[in-house]
Amino acid sequence: MSLALKQVFNKDRTFRPKRKFEPGTQRFELHKKAQASLNAGLDLKQAVQLPHGEGLHDWVAVHVVDFFNRINLIYGTISDSCTDQSCPVMSGGPKYEYRWQDDHKYKKPTAVPAPKYMSLLMDWIEVQINNEDIFPTNIGTPFPKNFMQVAKKILSRLFRVFVHVYIHHFDRVSQMGAEAHVNTCYKHFYYFVTEFNLTDHKELEPLKEMTSRMCH
């Protein structure tokens, strides 16, 4: 990794502390397996496939946490240039605007500046992935019936971070020499969500042209 990239991805710039898997847990072993297949220089399309004998829910859970950590880092690198002034709405170009909604403070879709949206999003995801009832860490504890639904919602919303970064802040990414890293992370994410049908096609629309150049 180049020095510039090391500075980009140093831990002081992380948008949130990383969620870690506990060594010795099944989830940790799967996480290591996922990392190993990536590091082996495997084709990303192959790397996302469910390993033989593993449970789909476990595989999805590990990736949701990994993508959360990585996308956090990516947003952290450009967060100084994403301000309420530069990005008064959370958008992906003129055609796409994302409004925030949750079950607590924001009962209706609400327009907020991009940094506020990112902060609400990361907080919201953190609550989900730290909730043992949704993301159980003990072997033998079953996943809830709505697990895939929750995972889909998290991944769809994380995709919006890519949309905003690529459309509004890619010059900053390039300036920092982080283009290859961000592109690899995007491809990995895209192949994963399409392999398991975890994101609606209409969510993927804003980056459709770029994706067809990059991922096919």
Q: How far apart are CA 51 and CA 100, in angstroms?
A: 35
- The pLDDT assigned to 42 comes to 64
Q: Answer whether CATH 1.10.10.1100 is correct for domain 3-214.
A: no
Q: How many whole angstroms separate alpha carbon 192 and alpha carbon 46?
A: 10
Binding-site annotation: residue ranges for Zn(2+): 82, 87, 164, 169
Tally the residues of the chain: 216
pLDDT confidence of residue 10:
43
**Contact status, residue 182 vs residue 74, Cβ threshold 8 Å:** yes
Chunked into runs of 10 residues, the chain (216 residues) has average pLDDT values of 41 51 64 66 83 90 92 92 96 95 92 96 93 85 95 97 96 92 93 96 95 89
Element (H, E) at 203: helix 201-204
- On whether the CB atoms of residues 160 and 92 are closer than 8 A, the answer is yes
Identify the CA nearest to 211 among candidates 99, 203, 9.
203
**What does the DSSP 8-state code read for residue 96?**
-
CB proximity list for 2: less than 8 A, separation 6 or greater: 177
Binding residues: 82, 87, 164, 169
Show the tokens assigned to 129. 């992935």
Residue ranges of the domains in the chain? 3-214
What are the E-state strand segments in the chain? none
Q: How far apart are the C-alpha atoms of 199 and 151, rounded to whole Å?
A: 9
